[in-house]
Structure 1
Amino acid sequence: MDQQPLAFRMRPQHIDDIIGQEHLVNEGKILNRMIQAKRLVSMILFGPPGTGKTSLAFALARSLDIPVKKLNAVVDKKKDMEVVAEEAKMSGQVVLVLDEVHRLDKSKQDFLLPHIESNRVILIGSTTSNPYHSINPAIRSRCHLFELHRLTEEHMKTAVHRAAQDDEKGLGDQKIRLTDDALDHFALASNGDMRSALNGLELAVSSTPADESGIITITLDAAEECMQKKSFTHDKDGDAHYDVLSAFQKSIRGSDVDAALHYLGRLIEAGDLDSIERRMIVCAYEDIGLANPQAGPRAVAAADAAHRLGFPEARIPLANAIVELALSPKSNSAYKALDGALSDIRSGKSGDVPAHLKDTHYQGAKEMGRGITYQYPHHYTEGWVNQQYLPDALKNSHYYEPKNTGKFEQALKQVHDNIKTEKNNTR
């Protein structure tokens, strides 16, 4: 029996075997173009765990029959890199697949740089971290950066089917029957991590006895046990899922933190990180807005952290963000004001820009009456001067109605009301 894990055995041998990452490997895309041109360059592959960074690196090297060596920036020493460089001198070129490339220390980096610059060593580094934040600029500037996306459920199903049917590297020498529910669960519970799905499949097959006909039937119960995750109660693409998403957003808007966390938990169990991130960010700007303006950037940061971490750790930044969003004061005044302005524009109420606001950065502008009476607000003590900004047709229009929620918008309301009073007094 082959002792190598199924996920290892199923690693692609050629770029055409890659599942997913169509934006990089499909016909006409950048990595495919490199293979067609028979010229690889050093690169950093970054993305969530299980998206096939190392597999893609090996497939690229093998597609061009270039010798390939794999090292880890944390575990392996400078001496190991020296061995790779010597082999590159003898063979002409070597692909160095370097895991955890963001952990490369200065001495190893300084050794590699001249070999990378000469293209004798083609570095293909892999990392789950953002290379712009974590990788030394000296290495980063010498490499192309390619982001790998989380694999979809369809990608996962393709990988599971391929592994179950492959006679040479997979489990095709056994009679395996996967129920539809089991296949769906492998695809969903792995949350885009192909290694996790294949590990679960291998465990399910090895631990399930064959029936009298020699057929190993993998049921949903077996898939749940081997993935150590229960099947969720609603279809990710069904109406119930959208009901949960709706309840999630409305619970945040309604400041019910317990309900918001409950629906967050259901969405986590469904593995729908993308929808969680979108709803979380839109809540921060639509429902909280100016009442707590820092909620927006923090929601984006939490979404980015969750995306990098993947489940189960992703639940931690998500929980922090949802508690803040649910308990923040709420205001939709900013986007409602914009909607009012858009409504006027779309109904044909716009008018010409007042002459004193028009561009003056060209010869002859003054002769055309552009900008002559414009008053520069910074020349006034209050940093504000009463002059017309809206077109004549809309000069009395009023869109923004500040709410008295949250200290930030309360401060904006005070400024807004003071300006409004000054305008009324000078009419």
Structure 2
Amino acid sequence: MALPSNPHKETALFSLLLWFFWAGIVSVEGFLLPYLTEQGFSPSQAGLVMSALFLCAIPGQPFWGHVCDRLDTHRPIFLAVILVGAGALLLVPLAIPRLPLVIGAVMIYSVTVNSMPGNLDGWIMARRRLVPRIEYGFARAMGSFGFALCAIILGTLYDHWGLHLIFPVFGIFAVLAAGVALCTPDSGSPGISPSWRSCPPGASDPAWASPGAADSTDCGTATSGRSPGESPPSGPGSPPAPSSFTQVIRLVWNHRQYRVFVLCSILLFTAFRATYTFLPLLVAQVGGGNRHIGWAHSVGAATEIPVMIMAGVLLRRVRPEKTILAAMVIMTIRMSFYAFVGTPGAIIALQSLHGLSFGLFLASSVYYIEDIAPAGSKSLFQALAPSMYFGLGSVLGSSLGGVVVDTLGLRTLFGLAPLGMAGAAVLFYLTSRPGAGRSRRKSLLSRP
């Protein structure tokens, strides 16, 4: 007999966990580049460090996601990596001005803390399959709220007391996040029976059911059917997680929908991260300070909140493919204006479109991946996608952006980046075929 669960309490715990986690992220990643340039590093050197910050998250996110799938647990992994990452980050000031040591400490942070966003999403979605009324959108919105509020506070704090405080501040938030995680149910917590345990054999995962099966039963996970080329597993029940690296590579590569989405997203985020990494330099160029950088990050994150909260409602009516494409288009239009801004206020005003671009893309992609990923590998797929588009895209964008700034200038970077974003949107539009190879499933987003 399943023990009773409280979805509202779990939503609140996940909300607080994400609040502290993303507050810690903005305390470092929002201000690390100006800290590095303040310490005497050139834009290309600072861009190299920022690339390292995302580099190890590329293999780190799918690795931790695969471990979570295999062990059916998220909490102990999160606790271990966030504390290790916080310790490594505290070593950065001691490594100045030795660039290789700075890069080394940042890479440890990358493979630990910066590899957690996708796994936190996977943790929530895994619990949501057991406790369907957990609100992912609300929890993620609270993460954005923590990011937004702390960006304002910390920007003012760093203006008065110095950017060297970014490292101990992150340590405080890391400890707080770890404390909340200890009180949050793990993805594999015993005593709570998944809904599919009451389903008849063969109906445990609508991804492998016949067309229309998901519409006739509430059993199973939130998937929408197999993509072209996939074959259903033999026998009843969900397929097991792949046990070897070769099996993981084959599983991902053979999933056309997922492969196309990741490719387009890498192109999008390479251009996006090139601009976002060097946004603090643009703020400084037009006469702004750390408080304006804080306000820019805050306004951007704050606009994610209503988008995240309303994502579930929106995606009940609109396919994720369409909202992903809309987010790409809005992001392209938004970034096209940054090359012409002349005041910090104009930059902050443009940040009001962050929710409808980045926020909408993020929320839609989580639901989209949960919808198409094969059972037994959902945490892996959730973690792998952001490791590729945000990780690899950030590495390429930060490093290439630094070279462009050094050689062609800051304004040229902001003029070229929207072209890459437009290319990603066109490619996704041409290669994605809504409804091809899969039927519409509403079990993920419907409230029981």
> Normalization by structure 1: what TM-score?
0.25
Q: Which has the higher helix share?
A: 2
Name which structure has the greater RCO, CA cutoff 8 Å, separation 6+.
2
> Normalization by structure 2: what TM-score?
0.24
